[in-house]
Structure 1
């Protein structure tokens, strides 16, 4: 599921997200500049390759380099929510990247929404495992929604975004229904009904509230929660702050990207989201370890509900490769 909304403040804006998922664990990873990466895909797809221009922080439930969202040091935020209507284009032989790693690709390489759109228009989603649509925002207050419908890429920006909310419905349909001021939601399934309910409620909150601050943003995210909401995240791109709390650790935590070393020689770091602490966590990050990454990956993919919903069982050999993938990239960079 998940809900994302764009909230105005007196001096700028906040992007808030409820992460709705029956799996509550996760890690916040640092991502340094300068490393050359190759997309985590298998033949016959051609892996996209890129060099990291901007350091970032990324939230992940299934391992480093496969984030569900994050923000870079230029203030670009890339988030996503599940969209069952997603149908990615057929692979045409170009530079390919998976649907989650494309989030990291944009964080690594783009300074604003305009550049992110240009980059994603020149890449292909390859070997996807989950149907999602993307929400992108930058420090200037620009926002875009990107979807793949009937094998075509749909991009919404500017005046095409009336209600600055994304749930789990096609944005064009949800936005159009809301503009019609039609409160009589009729859907064929409970999933879509719940999605549109949250869309309308979030849009009403935005219309009835002139300005938000961190406290009110968390309050309204709480009003939009589902029974399976496990994280609340608030991005402040202009000040490079991220605030979050989790079902397992309800204290509000914050981190400032200006206080993190993303230099080419910097030590990769991580922060377990359920760590019981309140307030600023900049000095609480731990050194990245393959063991921590592997632990998260195995917990996620071996979770019975995750395996059931995804409809796949990943062999231990592949899980081992996913865990070692960041180190393999580091080793490959030694030869560049």
Structure 2
């Protein structure tokens, strides 16, 4: 019984680590000079995180205790991890697929069925590992499901290098995806896609008479972002700077970092509340190889420009420091028993190994 309780607590911690209604983010796909550029604000009460250079060819078993999913990563990726390795809130892979996690109160995940499961955060890493397009992400709903541990209510914004994108909600126990003709505005904040799109008819420039609101409520940010995106004009500015300028229009006092993904070029640009210099990572220059170790970089490192050369090898101690700092800075997580935190810290050591190593160990 005690072991079952600990397992349940671990699952709750992993799934709910970002769970708090203050997690009010914004994300959009812009078309700048006919290139797809995904932008995102991460709004939260702490800003520490590690960028992870995740390798292909790694056999993984989900940190879930309800029929955990197992897979081998096909693609290399750069992810942003705040509550531990393999549990990102953002990321892009070497195929140009990018994903952002945003809070959604209405979320209701599928009931237990025959599909293997992952936590809401690890769903992101699964997609970065296995999918190269929005279409493949949507098709994965037949293969895996998100488990409800911890009541972490989030939805997802997904874009790929072709310019395809989708808002993925989980409502009444099923995936509800808006894409193509069903997605009137290539963006999302913290309301369902249907509600967000429906609100736009009342605003100036979109069929109504109401002024675009200036507050930071979810639908207000949605309307303002749509208005700004609709007015984008040809400019000599770099694509990523246009991206930052656009997403900055819906920033909040809690905006910890801003990310811009040039999906065709497979480049990631970022800046943080505490360090406004723009940093960049070109995925084509990353050493993605199953024989290479996972690499990490502090998102707050005082750098500028290309930062690939500053990544260092992942270590358990680095993961420990990340998890402990994030738990200490998150009120609802401060009461977790030390043993529970330790299990999350140790998880990658035994659940993420090169596929060749795993095959060799099989009798």
Q: Same fold (TM over 0.5)?
A: yes
Instruction: State the 1:331 CA deviation.
Output: 5.2
Which residue pairs with 1:307 in the alignment? 331
1:188 is matched with none
Report what 2:249 is aligned to: 223
Between the aligned partners of 2:141 and 2:230, the Cα distance in structure 1 is: 31
- Out of 126, 129, 143, the position equivalent to 1:108 is 129
Deviations along 1:224-282, whole A, 9 cap, x unmatched? 11110000000111101000001122111000111111111012100100000111101
Query: Distance between the aligned counterparts of 1:155 and 1:335, measured in 2?
Result: 35
1:29-60 Cα offsets, whole Å, 9 max, x none, are 01111111111012xx1011111100101001
Q: What's 2:86 paired with? A: 65
1:80 aligns with 2:106: no
Give the unaligned 5+ runs of structure 2.
Answer: 1-23
Out of 121, 125, 140, the residue aligned to residue 119 of structure 1 is 140
Match of 2:190 in 1: 168
Name the counterpart of 2:351: 329
Partners of 1:91 and 1:313 in 2: CA distance:
28
Task: Check whether the contact 1:249–1:273 (CA below 8 A) recurs between aligned residues.
Answer: no
Could you tell me which of 179, 183, 194 is aligned with 1:157?
179
The residue that corresponds to 1:205 in the other structure is 228
Q: Distance in 2 between matches of 1:254 and 1:128?
A: 35
The size of the alignment, in residue pairs, is: 324
Cα deviation for residue 184 of structure 1 reads 5.1
**CA–CA separation in structure 2 for the residues paired with 1:183 and 1:262:** 52
- The 8 Å contact of residues 243 and 252 in structure 1, kept in 2 or not, is answered as yes
Q: CA RMSD in A?
A: 1.8
Counterpart secondary structure, 1:335: helix
1:1-336 equivalent positions in 2, closer than 5 A: 1-42=24-65, 45-129=66-150, 130-181=152-203, 182=208, 194-211=217-234, 213-303=239-329, 306-308=330-332, 313-330=335-352, 333=355, 334-336=357-359
Question: Please, which runs of 5 or more residues in structure 1 have no aligned partner?
Answer: 186-190
- What are the superposed Cα offsets for residues 96-128 of structure 1, whole Å, 9 maximum, x if unpaired? 110100000000001111111101343111143
Q: CA deviation at 1:289?
A: 1.1
Moved more, 90-99 or 101-110: 90-99
CA distance in 2, matches of 1:36, 1:195: 38
Taking structure 1 as reference, are residues 331 and 9 closer, same or farther at Cα in structure 2, changes over 3 Å only? closer
Distance 1:68 1:335 in 2: 27
Structure 1: distance between partners of 2:74 and 2:162: 19
CA contact (8 A) 2:290 2:354 kept: no
Structure-2 change in CA distance of 1:287 and 1:332 (3 Å):
closer
CA deviations over 1:179-202 (Å, ceiling 9, x no partner): 4545659xxxxx9x7001100000
2:78 aligns to what SS in structure 1?
A: strand
TM-score by length of 1: 0.92
- Structure 1 CA distance for aligned equivalents of residues 120 and 270 of structure 2: 24
Decide whether the 8 Å contact of 1:198 with 1:224 is kept in 2. Answer: yes
What is the Cα deviation at residue 156 of structure 1? Answer: 0.6
Q: Secondary structure at the match of 2:358?
A: coil
